Structure 1
Amino acid sequence: MNLADLKFTIQIQGVMLIATLLTIVGDSLFSPFAKASSQIAIIVNNQIITNNDIRHRTAFFRLRGEQGNIKKKVLQELIDEVLKMQEANRIGTVAHKKEVEIAYLGFAKSNKISLSRLNQIMNESGITIIEFKKYIRTQISWQRAVSTKMINRSRIEKRSQSWLSPIEESVKNTTEYTFQQVVFTIPITQRSLILNHRQTESKKFRKKFKGCDSSLALAQEFNDVAVIDRGRKLRDELPKRWRDLLKTTPVGGISNPQFTDRGIEMLAVCKIRTVFSDNAIDFFDDRYSKESIKKIEKDYFDLIKTRSIIKYR
């Protein structure tokens, strides 16, 4: 696949980002970028945008086939994205790293190219993998910020609009768990011989457990114990038996031992937080027209900009 044939179509949390490339003649897009120091170009609420940021985004604009005053558009897009991420951080709608990775992989698949080929294109074009993933992360995070704004607006309207009540449950926040799975393995052939012993060991482990940071060191005091980092998972992504265990286990604690096909298992809760549910997106697609959504988003962002301090260097 030629670079000029790459189609920028990304499905991100219900929003389609499309920027089909125009035909690019020759190899000019692959010409090496001159090395330059990362000088500060703009300061947005004490957060800097450097010349390197501008250089990478200019490459992205060229790849998207943008026309007109590219420099002006690049600066405005970078400023807008900083403001959007600042707001997403403020209200807690920043996309997880895993979500960005999934979207990036989906982008490669939609273009029918391998991940390594996409990485090569990003680096050779001057965009870089990191910068493109930052772009994806901003799109997801900002969309959630807008959806949160709309939910708050709808809750105010709820007093006079009864139709929202049965729907509100589907757009509420959900719980995200960061946890570990601790497994005292028991070979099938020895199950009847060592089950009681392993149960006793698992109870000792639970009694000595002091938190996720020290779980690996604690596991080394026992034989054949695996500590599996399960990362961050939304409640709805988990099997019911895990949901029940995590619900009753506090942060820094570990669940009661459970007998499974693998042996004796426990779940250690490292962190719990409440995050916004993406089910709201479909809800708003149905309840609001595209025009009204755009207006709410524009008014929201205009308000953010009026409160911002932007300095050009």
Structure 2
Amino acid sequence: MNVRSQFTRVAFLALMAGSFAVGSAITAVPAVAASSISIVVNKQPITSYEIRLRTAFLRLRHEGGNLTQKATDELIDEALKKQEIRRRGIDIPQSAIDQAYANFAKQNHLTEAQLGQVLARAGFSSEAFKDYIKVQMGWGQAVQSHVRSKDKLSDQDVVQRMLAQGGKKPSTTQYTLQQVIFVVPPKDRSAATLDRRKREANAMRTRFRSCSQSYDIAKGLTDVTVRDLGRVAQPELPPLWKDSVSQLSAGQTTPPQTTDRGIEFIAVCDSKTISDDTVAAMVFESRDLKKLGEKAQKGDGPDAAWLKELRDKATIVRK
């Protein structure tokens, strides 16, 4: 998943660019077991321990000022974000979170184990950092969903946009897709098993010529599921696959990726160019979202106003 394309204004964008001063000295922060509820956000508690953790994280990010207050405010915002993510049924695959964590370690010239040690010495943890990543990814998708529902283009808007560009309707590519899953049960997700299944997936990809053959190939393999996904327009492709599918032609497949189901790849059965009023609206909305995403990276996106709206409506009780 391309995290930079999501609507996030928080420090995650800077973090993913490698902003930890990992080479500097870090004073170990002793673990403190005692904890009590400090804030309740819409019945969701925030503990004093969580505030201490976040304060340590802010210190690692070289934030200044009253870190306890900043940590408290950031956790209140995160509680609101998590609630909205759950309400919209958004689920970020653990594989995407793990990949973002691995990318961050690599950008800082660290192994994942070394990054975990840096976080632990600072009084934070790998698990807490991954939870932070998950929230930012989920919030990005929530904001996109919110913008689509709030600013959906009317038929008149679409017509005006087309007239503004000389009456020409925009076009996009429509793909007929197939999903191939090399199933890996949760209890057996060792690195060795995932590597083996990925080799098997790549071996099937070398034999792939068309979607009509996939089922016959899969019959001779163990725990392989083939699903016809039907027709999907390019702007509607899920973020996990969008970039790789957009580069393919009929009869080609994406590189395999690790997901919560196992090892997967997508096959393009067919593709064609489509252009109608529905496509025009889809393309215009996709362009709008891209522009908003670029603004968000500069700190001027739509998420800040929405977050303020959620905060104003929330019941926040300080203990």
TM-score range, shorter chain: 0.5 to 0.7
Residue in 2 aligned with 1:85? 82
Q: Which runs of 5+ in 2 are unaligned?
A: 7-11, 163-168, 189-195, 199-204, 230-235, 243-284
Partner SS state of residue 32, structure 2: coil
Q: 1:284 aligns with which of 282, 289, 292?
A: 289
Q: Report what 1:207 is aligned to.
A: none
Aligned match of 2:276: none
1:150-161 superposed matches below 5 A:
150-157=147-154, 159-161=156-158
Counterpart for residue 192 of structure 1: none
Partners of 1:179 and 1:229 within 8 A in 2 = no
- Whole-Å Cα distance in 1 between the matches of residues 171 and 35 of structure 2? 49
Give the secondary-structure state (helix, strand or coil) at the position aligned to 1:18.
helix
- The answer as to 2:41 corresponding to 1:41 is no
Instruction: Quote the offset at 1:95 in angstroms.
Output: 1.8
Provide the residue aligned with 2:309 in structure 1: 303
Residues 160-309 of structure 1 mapped to structure 2, 5 A cutoff:
160-162=157-159, 163=161, 166=170, 181=183, 258-259=216-217, 263-264=220-221, 267-268=224-225, 277-278=238-239, 284-286=289-291, 290=295, 294=300, 296-309=302-315
TM-score (structure 2 length as normaliser):
0.59
Query: Is 280-289 or 96-105 further displaced after alignment?
Result: 280-289
Shift of 1:45: 1.4
Corresponding residue number in structure 1 for 2:13: 17
Relative distance call for 1:59 and 1:268 in structure 2 (3 A) is same
Give the secondary-structure state (helix, strand or coil) at the position aligned to 1:41.
Answer: strand
Question: Among residues 108, 127, 142, which one is paired with 2:139 in the alignment?
Answer: 142
Equivalence for 1:128: 125
Indicate how the Cα distance of structure 1 residues 62 and 37 shifts in structure 2: closer, same or farther if over 3 A, else same.
Answer: same
Paired letter, 1:117: Q
Q: How much has 1:108 moved relative to structure 2?
A: 0.6
Structure 1 segments unaligned to the other structure (5+ residues)? 1-10, 183-211, 217-227, 231-237, 246-255
TM-score when scaled to structure 1? 0.60
CA drift of 1:306 comes to 2.5
Distance 2:135 2:304 in 1: 16
Partner AA of 2:127 in structure 1: I
**For the residues of structure 2 that align with 1:176 and 1:264, how far apart are their CA atoms?**
17
Q: CA deviation at 1:91?
A: 0.9
Answer yes or no: is the 8 Å Cα contact 1:44–1:83 preserved in 2: yes
Query: 1:56-135 counterparts in 2 under 5 A?
Result: 56-135=53-132
The separation in 2 between residues aligned to 1:175 and 1:152, in whole angstroms, is 26
Whichever structure has more strand as a proportion of its residues is 1
Larger radius of gyration: 1
Contact 1:177 1:269 (8 Å CA) reproduced = yes
Q: Structure 1 residues 49, 161: CA separation in 2 closer, same or farther (over 3 Å shift)? A: same
For 1:33, what is the secondary structure of its paired residue? Answer: coil
C-alpha contact (below 8 Å) 2:178/2:226 kept by paired residues: no
Indicate if the aligned counterparts of 1:257 and 1:264 stay in contact, CA closer than 8 A. no
After TM superposition, give the deviation of residue 53 of structure 1 in Å. 0.8
Cα separation, partners in 2 of 1:70 and 1:281, compared to 1, 3 Å: farther
Does the aligned pair in 2 maintain the 1:40–1:48 contact within 8 Å?
yes
For residues 241-277 of structure 1, the C-alpha deviation after alignment (integer angstroms, 9 at most, x for no partner) is 79968xxxxxxxxxx96246x935664589x9xx983
- Aligned residues: CA RMSD: 4.6
**How many residues align structurally?**
238
Q: Return the letter of the residue paired with 1:309.
A: T
- Please give the alpha-carbon distance, in whole angstroms, between the structure 2 residues aligned to 1:76 and 1:175: 44
Contact between 1:258 and 1:264, CA under 8 Å: does it hold in 2? no
